[in-house]
Chain A
Amino acid sequence: AQKITQTQPGMFVQEKEAVTLDCTYDTSDPSYGLFWYKQPSSGEMIFLIYQGSYDQQNATEGRYSLNFQKARKSANLVISASQLGDSAMYFCAMRENAGNNRKLIWGLGTSLAVNP
């Protein structure tokens, strides 16, 4: 069964340092997509970055990059040069491309605190 695991309930990082948030997934579908969302304390869900299972290169979006290791079924989010505004919950999600509903399977999230 498809599953997303985020093993770090909470993480701390010093401002301006890089941090890696872990995400492992389980699926039997060869075609899938992986998403990361940010949820600040204000509550909104913000889409950050996407990685497709057939993408040859790791996805990058500004200070966000995805360390995609397909054989290990991991899709870790790397935030470079952390800022105070990066303090938030971060959710990893997966979509299996089989089927026609675009449903996402969600991890339980990692709470990131950036210290000044």
Chain B
Amino acid sequence: NAGVTQTPKFRVLKTGQSMTLLCAQDMNHEYMYWYRQDPGMGLRLIHYSVGEGTTAKGEVPDGYNVSRLKKQNFLLGLESAAPSQTSVYFCASSYSGLAGEFSLGEQFFGPGTRLTVL
């Protein structure tokens, strides 16, 4: 089991460039999340998905788009990167539990992507 993987690990962009961050999980989890982590700001939720084909906005969605075409993949896109999007991006996934089944629902995290926008 690879768990949650993120591609790429590092990236440097120029202002206005676009890119896509890929998150993949092999745990058959329904829920997936994209966070950004900035010094002193903790983890902030960008977008999340409760299943294939569904996405929803989190706390800081502006400037980002997401897609969940396959259950195992969750893509985060930056259409026109800005220096304010310099951050470490984490993807996470969690299990919803079957009907009537208790599940802690802890989130499993990828290793992160360090993005710098110049």
Contacts and interface: CB of A to CB of B under 8 A. Distances in A.
Chain A, interface SS category: loop
A108 B42 contact: yes
Nearest to A100: B50
B74 interface: no
A44 B111 contact: yes
Interface of A: 33, 35, 43-45, 47, 50, 91, 95, 100-104, 106-109
Contacts of B25: none
B48 A101 contact: yes
Interface of B: 31, 33, 40-45, 48, 50, 56, 58, 88, 90, 92, 94, 96, 104-109, 111-112
Nearest to B49: A101
Contact of A44 (B41, B56, B109): B109
Contact of A102 (B41, B90, B105, B111): B105
Contacts of A102: 31, 50, 94, 96, 105, 107
Contact of A101 (B56, B90, B104): B56
Contacts of A91: 42-43
Given A43-B111, A43-B112, A101-B56, A108 B105 contact: no
A103 B48 contact: yes
Given A44-B109, A44-B111, A44-B112, A108 B104 contact: no
A47 B112 contact: no
29 contacts: A35-B107, A43-B88, A43-B111, A43-B112, A45-B90, A45-B92, A45-B107, A47-B106, A47-B107, A47-B108, A50-B104, A91-B42, A91-B43, A95-B105, A100-B50, A101-B56, A102-B50, A102-B94, A102-B105, A103-B33, A103-B45, A103-B48, A103-B58, A104-B107, A106-B42, A106-B43, A107-B42, A108-B40, A109-B42
